Amino acid sequence: MTKSQAGSKNKDRLQLLEQQLENMAQMEALLLWSYERCRVLPMIEGQMPEQEALEKFESLTARFARFNDILLQKIFRLIDSIDLDDVGTVRDRINRAEKKGLIDDAQQFIEIRELRNSIAHEYQPEALSIIFPETLQATPVLLDIAERVREYARRYGI
């Protein structure tokens, strides 16, 4: 690959990152809206919320899972590619995100990722009474990560 081709490829990645940051901002606004609606709802440990609250919580968990996906599968991967660090496992990507300051704690993000997997694969209603409060607790962490991602992207002129 020539220097010109490499520069063009990196320019394409930067444009893609800019698009993904716009997508992230849209998803962030929806996640924040759902979070604000749910954090004021009464939760009784071990009990399912009432029907109307349940619908709000299901919306929150779906947005939480999608937001987690866009961060890990799109944004972190793209930043690694731009930084020429795009090899390894998902855990490697998470560890690099910690080193870059995109996340505070790799283990905490892995736990959030496990929560996302529980959201995607849990079909037992009683488990939802655990998932909902955990999602409320983890949502501010994801929102903070979005701000860190924007700050990191500024080094690329975005």
Per-residue pLDDT of the chain (158 residues; tens, 9 = 90+): 555 555 677 899 999 999 999 999 999 999 999 999 999 988 766 666 688 888 999 999 999 999 999 999 999 999 999 999 988 999 999 999 999 999 999 999 999 999 999 998 876 767 777 899 999 999 999 999 999 999 999 999 98
Q: What predicted TM-score, i.e. pTM, was given to this entire model?
A: 0.89
Q: With contact defined as beta carbons under 8 Å apart, do 115 and 138 qualify?
A: yes
CATH number of 3-156: 1.20.120
Would you list the domain boundaries of the chain?
3-156
pLDDT of residue 7: 62
Pair 126, 49: CB distance under 8 Å: no
Amino acid symbol at 83:
D
Q: Which residue in this structure is represented by tokens 């905490």?
A: 108
Task: Give residues with Cβ within 8 angstroms of 53, minimum separation 6.
Answer: 38, 41, 42
